[in-house]
Amino acid sequence: MTRNQNGTARRRFVQLLGAGAVIGAGSAAVAADDDATEADSNTQTDDSGLVTLESDADFETTLARVEPALEARDLMLVTTVDHAENAASVDEELPPTTLFLFGNPEVGTPLMRASRSVAIDLPQKLLVWEVDGAVFVTYNDPQYLARHHGLEGVDEQLAGIADALEDLAIAVAHGE
Q: What is the pLDDT of residue 17?
A: 37
Total tally of structural domains belonging to the chain: 1
Q: 72-88, pLDDT tens digit by residue?
A: 999 999 999 999 999 99
Give the angle 144-146-148 at the CA atoms, nearest 5°.
65
Could you tell me the CATH number of the domain that includes residue 83?
A: 3.30.310.70
Q: What is the pLDDT of residue 48?
A: 84
Domain hosting 81: range is 3-174
- b (16+ CB within 10 A) / e for 61-73: ebbebbeebbeee
H-state helical runs in 1-154 = 3-35, 59-72, 83-88, 105-114, 142-149
Q: Are the C-beta atoms of residues 79 and 86 closer than 8 Å to each other?
A: no
pTM of the model: 0.76
Q: Rounded to an integer, what distance in angstroms lies between the CA atom of residue 122 and that of residue 116? A: 10
DSSP 8-state symbol, 94: -
Q: What is the pLDDT of residue 44?
A: 65
Residue 23 predicted with pLDDT over 60 = no
Q: 87-138, pLDDT tens digit by residue?
A: 999 999 999 999 999 999 999 999 999 999 999 999 999 999 999 999 999 9
